[in-house]
Amino acid sequence: MSRIYLSSADKVEKYENHLVKVTMADGSTVEGLEPRRLFPVTNPDAYITLLDESGVEIMVIRALSDLDKASAAVIETSLSDYYLVPRILRIISKAEKYGTLRWTVETDRGICSFDIRNRNHDIHVMRSGFVRVRDANDNRYVIEDCNKLDKHSYALLIADT
């Protein structure tokens, strides 16, 4: 089966929740597709796959710029709902018990606490100061620039990396 690539002639509409409906240029429609980024970190606006309810790839978007503005906006909204990644603004406290870290943080979505199982695998500090954190439930958080954290938060972060 050959891969179907969407173009500006195809239309994408919101279906329900973060699912979309695609109307192809020939008038055929496919409903209940779930957009997923194939390269979420390195190329978030390109190569977006559309999966059916069983996780099978049905179509691919080479680049959001290939779609009309309304369709691209629907895809961006769907992806932002699915890839919701809270930004950590400060680290309030941390504790360790049986090798698991417990962080309490303030995010752009409020205060929360979560566990980190493996500090070497689940806390990634990039050269630019960007930090990606994954908790024990596979939720992701980011610190956009650890160098801009307050001294207390920075000290707690550096102690774990």
**Domain, as residue range, for 95:** 88-160
pLDDT score recorded for residue 84: 81
The residues, any chain, with a CB within 8 Å of residue 69's CB and separated by 6 or more, are none
Q: Which of 102, 92, 37 is nearest to 64 (CA)?
A: 37
CB-based burial label for 132 (10 Å; 0-12, 13-18, 19+): middle
**Same-domain pairing of 47 and 102:** no
Query: CA-based angle 83:89:94, to the nearest 5?
Result: 100
**Within the chain, which residues score under 70 in pLDDT?**
1, 161
Residue at 118 is within a domain: yes
Residue at 2 is within a domain: no
Q: Of 82, 100, 130, at which residue does a domain stop?
A: 82
pLDDT at 75: 96
Answer yes or no: do 112 and 78 share one domain: no
Sign for the CA dihedral angle at 26, 28, 32, 36 comes to: negative
Residue 146 in contact with residue 154, Cβ under 8 Å?
yes
CATH number for position 127? 2.40.50
Report whether 38 contacts 65 (CB < 8 A): no
Instruction: Quote the CA–CA distance of 25 and 6 in Å, as a whole number.
Output: 9
State residue 41 phi and psi, 5-degree precision: -95, -50
- Predicted TM-score (pTM) of this structure: 0.61
For 120, the token pair is: 């070497």
First to last CA, the chain: 46
Model pLDDT, residue 161: 65
**pLDDT the model gives residue 29:** 95
Per-residue confidence (pLDDT) for residue 1, from 0 to 100: 55
